[in-house]
Amino acid sequence: MLLLGMTDSLSAMAVTAWARLVRAQQGALKSVENDLKRAGFPPLAWYDVLLELERAADGRLRPRDIQKHMLLERYSVTRLVERMERDGLVDRLGCADDGRGAVVRITQKGRRLRRKMWPVYAAAIDNSFAARFSDDELADLSGLLGRILTT
């Protein structure tokens, strides 16, 4: 069977595995987003930013560093941070190293929100993903996926 765009060097199994990986990722993220929304929380990207800020030694990161560390791809961290700042979850401060730059700092309200979101996020990860595998399968899957990570 010849698949559209498939060459002799790419097997049908490779195309199938690729498609399943992409669909699985999209489905799992949609499920997590839906669970957070039903619980009255903001989108997962907000959690992602808050978590990275909490992980930073002083709760501060430059916007470009937030983008580098985020689990989710985000095209406009600036707009996301602006919305989070309006909700009092983060502050933007001047950067001592660069007069034109800014540093984003998590607030106590942001820390509280991230902690409240975690149980819903954890349950969503379990329901949409982890519960479908044994611990050994999760270890195998993690190892396999680790082989394709570029960063």
Tens of pLDDT, residue by residue over 93-138, are 887 666 667 889 999 999 999 999 999 999 999 999 999 999 999 9
Contacts of 106 (CB under 8 A, 6+ apart): 50, 53, 54, 59, 60, 89, 90, 114
Task: Kindly state whether residue 136 falls inside one of the protein's structural domains.
Answer: no
The dihedral region occupied by 103, where left means phi > 0, alpha psi between -120 and 50, and beta the remainder, is beta
More confidently predicted of 109 and 5: 109
Task: Kindly state whether residue 92 falls inside one of the protein's structural domains.
Answer: yes
* Tokens found for residue 45: 């990207």
pLDDT at 57 over 80: yes
Task: Kindly state whether residue 116 falls inside one of the protein's structural domains.
Answer: yes
Task: Report the pLDDT value the prediction gives residue 3, as an integer from 0 to 100.
Answer: 54
d(CA 3, CA 117) in angstroms, rounded, equals: 42
Q: What are 27-50's pLDDT values in tens digits?
A: 999 999 999 999 999 999 999 999
**Percentage, residues of the chain above pLDDT 70:** 89
Average pLDDT of 16-30? Answer: 94
Put simply, whether the predicted model's pTM sits higher than 0.85 gets the answer no
Task: Kindly state whether residue 2 falls inside one of the protein's structural domains.
Answer: no
d(CA 134, CA 14) in angstroms, rounded, equals: 24
* C-alpha dihedral sign at 41, 43, 45, 49: negative
Contacts of 120 (CB under 8 A, 6+ apart): 35, 36, 39, 41
Range(s) of the domain holding residue 81? 13-130
Task: Report the pLDDT value the prediction gives residue 2, as an integer from 0 to 100.
Answer: 47
Look up the CATH number of the domain holding residue 24.
1.10.10.10
Task: Report the pLDDT value the prediction gives residue 94, as an integer from 0 to 100.
Answer: 80
pLDDT at 54 over 80: yes
Look at the block and give the residue holding tokens 């819903």. 120
Instruction: Give the bridge partners for 105, in sequence order.
Output: 60, 91
Task: Kindly state whether residue 8 falls inside one of the protein's structural domains.
Answer: no
Task: Kindly state whether residue 63 falls inside one of the protein's structural domains.
Answer: yes
- Domains held by the chain: number: 1
* Count of beta carbons in the 10 Å neighbourhood of residue 137: 11
Helix locations, 41-130, DSSP H? 44-55, 63-69, 77-86, 108-128
Q: What's at 90, amino acid-wise?
A: V
Task: Kindly state whether residue 53 falls inside one of the protein's structural domains.
Answer: yes
Task: Kindly state whether residue 112 falls inside one of the protein's structural domains.
Answer: yes
